Structure 1
Amino acid sequence: MSTALPVFVVQSDFTDSAWKKNAPAIMTEQGATIYLGQNAAENLRKIQKAGRQLDNLGVAAVKLSGEGWGFDEQWAFANGYTDTLSKNQIQWADGADKLAAMRNIVNWSRDLINLPPQDIYPESLSQRVAEKLTSLAPEHVSHRIIKGDELAQEGWMGIHTVGRASAHAPCMLVVDYNPTQQADAPVDTVLIGKGITFDSGGYSLKASEGMLAMKCDMGGAATVAGALAIAIEQGLQKRVQLVLCCAENLVSGNAYKLGDIITYKNGTTVEVVNTDAEGRLVLADGLLFAGEVGAKKVIDAATLTGAAHVAVGNEYNALFSVDDDYANHALSTAAAQRENLWRLPLQPWHKENTPSAFADCANSRPQKGGGAGGASNAAGFLLRFAPNDGQGWLHFDIAGAYNNSANNMWATGATALGVRTIATLLQDD
């Protein structure tokens, strides 16, 4: 690495009158210094802001120097100092191997989300993920890509319906990580990711300003793929299957329309009242798959609703579950990983909040944003398809894990918030 700017953390108030007291990092002849207070959580926020400050100053390489750089402090700095194109270089203070390996995978997840839509479409996303996971444990990983009309032939009607209008065929990627190498080994967890590689809204067409960032609508797929990659690198000894539900939601003569009815593999019929509520339609297939393989636990992640984004902003992911014990464990896990997670309401009766006169249910309410409680109602729709009446199931709505423009904590683009939490949940007994 070329010459790097030294960065220090100091547990002390600074008195240099040349700098404003709220400046995250103070520049001196020795490098940059971050002065910390007594509040641990606020210290981590300040460290992350300092990373953003140095990136904005055009610093291309840093060396974390001196005492005080624990794992959490280094990771907070890396979150702020990571630029959109993942070019900034860090020399770690301690624990370099673990930090570098984790940062490489998190940046891989971010880069997938940030790639332009001509490069990421259903099959290319599936291939990139399969290749990455296979490279980490080639003897333990196998995969299958179910593509185009094969989806309809096998009954995966949500993915097929949403993606059939695109020149890029929809896909379901199934990755089987089986460290036992025994065909009858039980599946501990199924990870499900929403992989809408571009979302125009379909015939419920988005406005141009709302469509610009919709390359990020496969953020759930990148998040769970990154989580599995980290868990594998950390020695995961349980069988985990990854299911990515991949499609482009576009408009053409054979696109699905408002009023269409989808019949799912389990016989459930769904009236389409909003083609821009497509994520839940593809995730339903993933949840049905999880039930077929008898997974003990099911975790899905999706940039699902603007309502969740409004509720928790860009600083949190939203969590939904009817399994209180598992939900509380997820919240404590997220806190330990320094990733903000907030539980929003979900009860069994939320399943009834998207009614239809023509089918078992609709995919939304025919109102802007799905009406009041839109995020919970979307989770309620998914609950219809979750195995075991939702016991052992977590739904992460990560709609806020992408920034249309940089702020004082994150660069423009994907944040990968949630990857560490889900990776840790995979390791649970």
Structure 2
Amino acid sequence: MLTIFAAADTTEAAVPIHAVHDDGLEATLAALGGGADAWAAASGFKAEAGALLLVPGADGSLRAVLFGLGRADDPARAPLLFGRLATLPKALYRLATFAGDLPLALLGFALGSYRFSRYLKTREDGPRLVMPAGVDAREIDALARAVYLVRDLVNTPANDLGPEEIAAAVRALADRHGADYDEIVGDDLLSRGFPLVHAVGAASTRAPRLATFTWGDEADPKITLVGKGVAFDTGGLNIKPDNSMLLMKKDMGGAANVLGLAQLIMEAGLRVRLRVVVPAVENSIAGNAFRPGDVFTSRKGLTVEIGNTDAEGRLILADALAFADDEAPALIVDMATLTGAARVALGPDLPPVYTHDDKLAGDLAAAGLAVGDPVWRMPLWPPYDKLLASKIADVNHISSGGFAGSITAALFLARFVGKATAWLHADVFAWVPADKPGQPVGGEAQVIRALYEVLKARYPR
């Protein structure tokens, strides 16, 4: 279990936390007594969502903590609000008064406690929380560690996380769970049928590669996860402006999220035959870089005209999806930091998802709301498919105008899936631009907790 939690039977004294809605504050203060009401009034504490009040004892020690939940019917309350508890002073605490989703509250605290400390010399310990009896501590721990894995990978800069290191992370996860691993590197991508992956990564001094593993009983339903692993994206010859390049270490956020979800699946022992596919490249600039106007034959056999080298993610996903589709799995999920258009439409917090499967879309949306990992279904709108027309190839990989960029990207990817029973594409941001409860600035896991809930219900251990 993460060290931020203490066992339920710990004998160490713990400071009680009273989590209260605004309409329950008066009763809570009355029950606390000892001048707590006067202290709250003097401090201006009104139990707004996320507000904290340290209540001193007569000797000046910390006697209790009041934690505001705001209005009980507030639809805008942060789902991981209990992440605010991670800002408390270093001490051991316990939830004394609480009504609501206890596992989500505990997970919020765990996710708020995350720090990326790889490049920091020291890190001060924060607060610890007693894990209450009767909750599934192992599940909360597994969810938190999966999110930590995603955040660590996305936060690591490209000088320390290139294509080789991304593949090493895939291999490390495979090895921990006894999965069968394979890696295709450099020019071998051409001989083994991944020309688009090779083209995108050819200009980098760090060889492109495709990392993949399989896990589970061959007789179980086949589930394949595909993650975009662009270690850094300069934009290629269609070079990005400097302000657009600043966060491009996170362009492997799809791969990171796929690894987080795969870890959850394998640790839970879900009854699936899992395949993970991660094309890992760096989109660089050199004399051998792929160019606007070039035409490549994809793994599927479709010829693809390059409209803009800064739309490289969908190219490597096209080959990876065709590979995943070869064995006709029950479900393919691809995750990618794919389009700025998705952020314009839905912002950083609400990833769009695309699928033809209405049941899958409904289940995922419901699960996302239940676990505080929201998604929003967007349409695979057939009339927009013509925007990908090319005069010299089967398809152009970008649309002919500036409209519906996330939708046309999904429509392009859909061309490379035909045998799978169901397919889901998630256009994630994988980043938190401003601190929120349970979500510090930096890399973020998106969609994976919602997907895990769906898969756990469909394929229980």
Aligned in 2, Cα 1:207/1:104: closer, same or farther, shift over 3 Å?
Answer: same
- Name 1:192's counterpart in structure 2: 226
TM-score for both structures, normalised by structure 2: 0.83
- Larger-gyration structure (1/2): 2
Alpha-carbon distance between aligned partners in 1 of 2:196 and 2:116, rounded to the nearest angstrom: 33
- Name 1:19's counterpart in structure 2: 44
Give the letter for the 1:394 counterpart.
L
Tell me the CA shift for residue 198 of structure 1: 0.7
- Name 2:450's counterpart in structure 1: 421
Give the letter for the 2:428 counterpart.
I
- Name 2:410's counterpart in structure 1: 379
- Deviates further, 281-290 or 348-357: 348-357
Alpha-carbon distance between aligned partners in 1 of 2:142 and 2:340, rounded to the nearest angstrom: 32
Secondary structure in 1 aligned to 2:166?
Answer: helix
Alpha-carbon distance between aligned partners in 1 of 2:343 and 2:172, rounded to the nearest angstrom: 32
CA distances 1:351-394 after superposition (whole Å, capped 9, x unpaired): 32222112111111355xxx111100100100111124x75011
- Name 1:34's counterpart in structure 2: 67
Equivalenced residue count is: 414
Alpha-carbon distance between aligned partners in 2 of 1:186 and 1:348, rounded to the nearest angstrom: 33
Alpha-carbon distance between aligned partners in 1 of 2:421 and 2:388, rounded to the nearest angstrom: 21
Contact 1:216 1:414 in 2 (8 A): yes
Secondary structure in 2 aligned to 1:173?
Answer: strand
Secondary structure in 2 aligned to 1:293?
Answer: coil
Tell me the CA shift for residue 424 of structure 1: 2.8
Contact 2:342 2:352 in 1 (8 A): yes
Alpha-carbon distance between aligned partners in 2 of 1:6 and 1:83, rounded to the nearest angstrom: 24
Tell me the CA shift for residue 155 of structure 1: 1.2
Q: What aligned pairs does 1:21-420 form with structure 2 within 5 A after superposition?
A: 21=46, 22=48, 24-29=51-56, 30-37=63-70, 39=72, 42=75, 45=78, 48-49=80-81, 51-52=83-84, 54-55=86-87, 59=89, 63-68=93-98, 70-85=102-117, 90-94=128-132, 95=135, 96-135=137-176, 137-138=177-178, 141-178=179-216, 180=217, 182=218, 185=219, 188-365=222-399, 371-388=402-419, 391-399=421-429, 401-407=430-436, 410-420=439-449
Alpha-carbon distance between aligned partners in 2 of 1:232 and 1:44, rounded to the nearest angstrom: 32
Contact 1:191 1:241 in 2 (8 A): yes
Superposed CA RMSD in Å reads: 2.6
Give the letter for the 1:251 counterpart.
I
Alpha-carbon distance between aligned partners in 2 of 1:421 and 1:99, rounded to the nearest angstrom: 14
Identity among equivalent pairs (%):
31
Alpha-carbon distance between aligned partners in 1 of 2:227 and 2:355, rounded to the nearest angstrom: 16
Alpha-carbon distance between aligned partners in 2 of 1:5 and 1:133, rounded to the nearest angstrom: 41
- Name 2:59's counterpart in structure 1: none
Alpha-carbon distance between aligned partners in 2 of 1:229 and 1:284, rounded to the nearest angstrom: 24
Tell me the CA shift for residue 105 of structure 1: 2.2
Aligned in 2, Cα 1:220/1:340: closer, same or farther, shift over 3 Å?
Answer: same
Tell me the CA shift for residue 281 of structure 1: 0.4
- Deviates further, 159-168 or 325-334: 325-334
Alpha-carbon distance between aligned partners in 1 of 2:266 and 2:83, rounded to the nearest angstrom: 29
Give the letter for the 2:425 counterpart.
H
Contact 2:110 2:438 in 1 (8 A): no
Aligned in 2, Cα 1:82/1:61: closer, same or farther, shift over 3 Å?
Answer: farther
Contact 1:204 1:274 in 2 (8 A): yes
Alpha-carbon distance between aligned partners in 1 of 2:112 and 2:205, rounded to the nearest angstrom: 38
CA distances 1:242-297 after superposition (whole Å, capped 9, x unpaired): 00111111111111111111111221011111111111001111210121122111
CA distances 1:303-336 after superposition (whole Å, capped 9, x unpaired): 1111111111122111111222222222122223
TM-score for both structures, normalised by structure 1: 0.88
- Deviates further, 305-314 or 89-98: 89-98
Contact 1:322 1:391 in 2 (8 A): no
Alpha-carbon distance between aligned partners in 1 of 2:82 and 2:353, rounded to the nearest angstrom: 29
Task: List alignment gaps of at least 5 residues for structure 2.
Answer: 5-11, 27-39, 57-62
Alpha-carbon distance between aligned partners in 2 of 1:189 and 1:43, rounded to the nearest angstrom: 34
- Deviates further, 267-276 or 77-86: 77-86
